[in-house]
Amino acid sequence: MHFLVPWMLFGALSAGIPVETSKKIRLRDLILLLLRMTILILAALALARPSTLSLFGSGPVDAVILIDNSQSMSTLEGQTSRLDMALTSAKQLLGNLPTGSKARIISLTDHTVELSYNNSNESDAIASALLQIKPTDRSSNFYQGFANAIDLLKTSSFSQRKIFFFSDMQRPGWQNESSSFKTLVQNMPSSISIHMIRHGSDVDSNIQIMDFQPTAGIILANQRQTWGLTVRNRGIKPATGIKTTLGLGSDFETAESAVIEKLDAGEERSITIDLLIPEDGHQIVKAVAGNDRFSRDNQKEKIVLARKKLQVLIVGAKSEIDANRDNTFFLYHALRSGSSDSSNSGIEVKVASGRGATPDTLDETDIVFMVDPMLAGSDSVSDGFMEKLETWVSMGNTLVYFAGSNYAAVSDSNIKNAGKFLPPANPTPNLTPTTIATENFPPVGWFNRFRSAPLNLINQSEFRKRVTFDTSKDYQTAALGYFSDNQPLAEMKQLRAGFITLLPWVPDLSYSDLPLRPSFVPFIQTLLSRILDTLNDAKNPLISREISLRLQPQDLIGGEKYKWVSPTSMALAASMEKSVDEVVFRGEFNTPEAGIWKLESTTSENSKATPKNIIAVQASNEEGAELNPLQESEIDEILGKNVSHQNNTGEASITGSTGELTNLLLYLLLLFFVFEMFFAWWCGQPL
């Protein structure tokens, strides 16, 4: 046992001062004297704050302080955030390090930043370093922080080497590298000890905006359209009365709202709200849902592209099941149904046979759908069209290819019409009817809307025929969803600045009954919307990626030096790369915040945000998926070692000790004081 305030023990000497002198002491007087001496001794011990275990032991300490400032640390605990609690606790601990100690401070999200290397008694330097740690919207990955801390302490000459980790101990931060943690700790020198200081309490409900998009698949300027918003409760208890709002970022006060009466724990629901975007071009759209302790994922901002008109070209062939109808029939009507009567002029759909698709038609086309057209024979697509199509896609456009028997029959590399930019495919023989595995759609993927009712009924449709793309060696191709037999429902292939969406089936009754089901139109509209979103991805980068912005030389905002300005007005350096036809601006930093970032000239006093010089950085929804901590036993299991754990809910202070006995002594002091009071009254000798 040791004492945190040992000089207070001198107060115990007061127990030896006699209250009065007497030659004759009766038994009850002796008992009363012993009670009063005990009270004085207990009071002195309580003030000295005895502890059964010290985190510091004896002598100076070489400490590495890890502070988690990932997005979940912004969760409120009363009136303060978990991060503020952690910073306060870290400051207390650093101030209590033994004389001669030293400390390194590292902030930790999915990357690490070493902030200082100071003697612990230099309080101003410590405070300055802690002030550098700000809230972020980045996800958590604790492994690299511990690896860096262990590397720093391996070469230390101190006998006491300690890692202190201040965090909410969120599950994803441990599980991202759980297989590597045990090896890391097992190879750690035995003289290094780990101490966990957890901040935060359990969160009952956490409402997230998962995504929002127009149900028609296209954003049309100056037309009132219905938008779908996906909202999810990532907490452990139901949430009620959730007000959900969607509007323009420039005029959010007039935005329309809808109320979700109840959302059960883990439930995800899609609702609709109308929105009118008055002008074409890039616009900021903002959605907000509910108000809870973790507000950073209650809202989402995206930069969308509103168009006056979308020009679509569909190239198809005759249906395999009905010679009197083209295989483009259902797709054509699904695309046309995306517009109301008042907005039919918004989507212009042209249909052509293989032979009718000429290279010139691409000059006035925004998106191309190939519905298994003939690639060989008299009615096949021309070589000139396929060659120009490849160039057209690579320049930043998109192609959607529904592949069937015609594609598989001629997609050998020797057939020029198939194009070198398209992967080969083969028919799937003896196919057992399969369905769409809606439960496997990612929560933030292209088809996340189909995870919940009523759109999840798309899994009732059967696919009796399809092809199989050979994309196993193509690392630029990613699956967007799967069938029930784990084969891709759709894949996306990057082609320089553009991309191709590959679907191994045809929207025709010879392949599936999906075109007859109510979910077919929403599926095509969602596909169209996601394609248009992907073309606009550069304006909505994920926070984990480098931020960049491409401008035409005529769009430059003046000056030769530029800066990025964050949503909280923090200025960070921007690099610039010039070429003949474009200027690329990059951010040479790990993006800390989600929201609207603005590119400004450092020399222009009146640099304003315009649609051309802003981007909307997107945070990961997974940070709010599990706000409650990993249990101590689970952390020990991941580390392969039992380590020290301490919980801080905001009331306790971090002193460098655990097992403090002050509370027990105070209870005993109160008990003895009450007993002494009644005994003295009985003896007739109250104080």
- pLDDT at position 56 is 59
Angle subtended by helix axes 662-683 and 27-48, to nearest 10? 160
- pLDDT at position 43 is 78
CATH code: domain 207-302 is 2.60.40.10
Range 56-202+628-655: architecture per CATH: 3-Layer(aba) Sandwich (3.40)
Q: What gap in Å lies between CA 299 and CA 288, rounded to an integer? A: 4
Q: What gap in Å lies between CA 102 and CA 117, rounded to an integer? A: 7
Q: Which value, to the nearest 10 degrees, does the dihedral of the CA atoms of residues 424, 428, 433, 435 take?
A: -20
Residue position matching structure tokens 């007000």? 243
Cα dist. 652→89, 222, 423, 564 in Å? 9, 57, 62, 40
- pLDDT at position 537 is 80
**For the chain, which ranges sit under pLDDT 50?**
8-9, 12, 15, 23, 53, 120-121, 340-344, 413-418, 652, 658
CA atoms within 13 Å, Cβ hemisphere of 68: 32
* Rg (the chain; Cα; Å): 33
Q: What gap in Å lies between CA 421 and CA 178, rounded to an integer? A: 39
Quick one: how far is CA 629 from the chain centroid? Answer: 17
Question: Can you name the residues that pair with 100 across neighbouring β-strands?
Answer: none
End-to-end CA distance of the chain: 33
Spell out the SS3 assignment of 243-257.
Answer: EEEEEEHHHHHHCEE
- pLDDT at position 35 is 75
- pLDDT at position 415 is 47
Range 310-538: architecture per CATH: 3-Layer(aba) Sandwich (3.40)
Residues in Cβ contact with 214 at an 8 Å cutoff, skipping those fewer than 6 apart: 225, 226, 227, 228, 275, 529
Angle subtended by helix axes 82-95 and 123-131, to nearest 10? 160
> Please, are residues 623 and 139 in contact by the beta-carbon 8 Å criterion?
yes
Q: What angle do CA 356, 507, 486 make, to 5 degrees?
A: 130
- pLDDT at position 520 is 94
Question: Can you name the residues that pair with 214 across neighbouring β-strands?
Answer: 227
Per residue in 644-671, is it b (16+ CB within 10 Å) or e — as a string? ebbebebeeebbbbeebbbeebeebbee
- pLDDT at position 455 is 87
Residues of CATH 2.60.40.10 domain(s) within the chain? 207-302
Dihedral pair phi/psi, residue 371, rounded to 5°: -110, 80
Residues of CATH 3.40.50.880 domain(s) within the chain? 310-538
Structure tokens of 111? 């990357």
- pLDDT at position 496 is 79
CATH code: domain 541-617 is 2.60.40
Q: What gap in Å lies between CA 497 and CA 535, rounded to an integer? A: 9
Q: Which of 233, 166, 177 is nearest to 200 (CA)?
A: 166
- Local structure of residue 459 (DSSP, 8 states): G
Report yes or no on whether pTM surpasses 0.85. Answer: no
Q: Which helix (H) or strand (E) segment is 347 a member of?
A: strand 347-353
> Please, are residues 402 and 319 in contact by the beta-carbon 8 Å criterion?
no
Pairing of strands 583-587, 102-108: unpaired
Dihedral pair phi/psi, residue 290, rounded to 5°: 70, -175
Residues in Cβ contact with 424 at an 8 Å cutoff, skipping those fewer than 6 apart: 411, 412, 413, 418, 469, 470
Q: Is 339 helix (H, G, I), strand (E, B) or coil?
A: coil
Residues in Cβ contact with 262 at an 8 Å cutoff, skipping those fewer than 6 apart: 238, 239, 240
Q: What gap in Å lies between CA 174 and CA 165, rounded to an integer? A: 13
Residues in Cβ contact with 609 at an 8 Å cutoff, skipping those fewer than 6 apart: 596, 598
Residues of CATH 3.40.50.410 domain(s) within the chain? 56-202+628-655
CA atoms within 13 Å, Cβ hemisphere of 605: 0
